[in-house]
Amino acid sequence: MTDPEADLRRRWELEGFEAALSGRAAATRRAYGSDVAAFAEWAGRAQVSSPAQVERLLLRRYLAYLATRRFARATVARKAAALRAYFAWCRRRGLVELDPARGLSSPKAAGRLPRVLSEREVDRLLQLPPAPPERLEQAVVCRDLAVLELLYAAGLRVAELCGLDRAGLDLPGRTVTVLGKGSKERRVPIHDRAAAAIERWLTEGWAVLATPTSPAEAVFLNRAGRRLGPRDVRRILDRRSAVPTHPHALRHSFATHLLDEGADLRVVQELLGHASLQTTQVYTHVSKERLVAVYRRTHPRA
């Protein structure tokens, strides 16, 4: 008896497509593979069983269908990007004569400005709490401070922090080397307090949380001794922050505070690992809004 899912993946050559995405982040590969498989399943209901049968009108109908199902605009935009990548690959492989997804438009994600912590909020977040009596909890407190110090010191994405290996640390040189989006490596400077917090965690806390199966190369571990994950980082913020704070807020705050103090936009772009300066420019709008807010709050005639 034929497995319908396996048959669908064979007819649409999804294994080959996913293998061609090897240069992209693991999360992107998974999402794009899932997105194209979902489209192929939907297209099958319209008696379309291979990429060669897909026309542009069908793709536009699919995006409209997603919109009626109340998918977030950002999700629809990602699915459209997955289809563009897939059919461009099909065209290169000769699976389609013309690329039906070329220039396929998708709704733009809502332009929400990131939440930025004030310097006072960051200071409170990075205050070392009283040491708990239990050795395990002392190690957790030590790790949490190192995680937060590094997120703010280097403006790392959470995935970059979680994937950080010991080989990427140069504490005497005050730098960390991380693997960013698109498997692009970048080296970022850190300050003395962040380096000291990381060194203390590695010398006093790491071994306490480690188990025989812990990855020796991982800089940060969770309570189970496994590599720290994004959900673990979120829990750290939930414990330490007085108000709901997403881990990405520290990256936003890092960029905005640098710009507030006069850092060049292109320098901030390099530090954040943005491929496009346009992505970094959102922080100039945030910074201007902060300046206007301060002006209105402090000027005698405002």
Is 157 a residue of the active site? yes
191 catalytic residue (yes or no): no
Q: Is the dihedral of CA 251, 252, 255, 261 positive or negative?
A: negative
**Residue 274 annotated in active site:** yes
- The single residue of 9, 84, 157, 227 carrying the catalytic annotation is 157
Catalytic residue among 29, 235, 248, 290: 248
Calculate the alpha carbon distances from 234 to 153, 162, 239, 268 in Å: 18, 12, 9, 24
List 61, 181, 187, 246, catalytic entry: 181
Q: What's the angle, vertex CA 161, arms to CA 78 and CA 230, rounded to 5? A: 60
From the list 32, 86, 152, 283, the catalytic residue is 283
Could you tell me which of 35, 34, 33, 9 has the C-alpha nearest to residue 21? 33
The secondary structure of 157-200 as a DSSP string is -HHHHHT-BGGGEETTTTEEEEE-GGG-EEEEE--HHHHHHHHH
Burial class (CB in 10 A: 0-12, 13-18, 19+), 131: exposed
Half-sphere exposure of residue 125, counting CA atoms within 13 Å on the CB side?
27
Strand 169-170's sheet: what is its strand order? 169-170, 175-179, 185-189
283 is a catalytic site residue: yes
Of 9, 79, 240, 274, which one is the catalytic site residue? Answer: 274
The Cα–Cα gap between 148 and 76 comes to: 32
Marked catalytic residue, from 143, 251, 252, 257: 251
Catalytic residues: 157, 181, 248, 251, 274, 283
